[in-house]
């Protein structure tokens, strides 16, 4: 005669708990990487926009560039992103800028010598 089982054994519960824990650890690691990618994307986007502000400023101010965060020139960075530029009086006039995010250790940069590209090591 077979006895009917109405409950799970402790071993079965432990195995299911371990599997759920492993899946959760994998998911958390993936989300952490995605978050860092979003921070870097925000910095890259702000630096590209900042480059446009620098070029427009230079067109209006006899090829001179501005230093600082660009707020006086109308630039607004994404929240938690800080962009700081350094202008070099020429000849030839040049500029470079770095972007940092309050929640990331990565720093991105752009400038006249980079060919318009953003670099984020």
Has residue 121 been placed in a domain?
A: no
How is residue 79 written in tokens? 């929240």
Has residue 19 been placed in a domain?
A: yes
Has residue 119 been placed in a domain?
A: no
Task: Read off the pLDDT band of 116 (50, 70, 90).
Answer: low
Report pLDDT digits (tens) over 61-90: 988 899 999 998 899 999 999 999 999 887
Report pLDDT digits (tens) over 10-55: 999 999 999 999 999 998 888 877 888 999 999 999 999 999 999 9
**Contacts of residue 47, Cβ cutoff 8 Å, sequence gap at least 6:** 83, 97, 99, 108, 109, 110, 118
Has residue 49 been placed in a domain?
A: yes
Has residue 38 been placed in a domain?
A: yes
Computed on alpha carbons and rounded to an integer, the radius of gyration of the chain in Å comes to 26
Mean pLDDT of 93-120: 88
Has residue 52 been placed in a domain?
A: yes
More confident residue, 109 or 33: 109
Range of the domain at 70: 10-114
Whole-model pTM? 0.74
Has residue 5 been placed in a domain?
A: no
Has residue 4 been placed in a domain?
A: no
Counted domains in the chain? 1
Q: Is the pLDDT of residue 1 over 90?
A: no
């Amino acid at each position: 005669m077979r006895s009917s089982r109405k409950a799970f054994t402790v071993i079965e519960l432990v195995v299911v708990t371990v599997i759920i824990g492993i899946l959760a650890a994998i998911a958390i690691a993936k989300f952490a990487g995605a978050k860092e990618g979003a921070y870097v994307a925000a910095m890259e986007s702000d630096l590209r926009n900042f480059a446009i502000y620098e070029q427009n400023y230079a067109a209006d101010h006899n090829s001179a560039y501005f230093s600082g965060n660009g707020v006086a020139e109308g630039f607004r960075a994404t929240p938690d992103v800080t962009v700081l530029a350094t202008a070099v009086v020429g000849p030839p006039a040049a500029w470079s800028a770095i972007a940092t995010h309050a929640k990331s250790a990565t720093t991105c940069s752009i400038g006249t010598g980079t060919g318009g590209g953003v670099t984020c090591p």
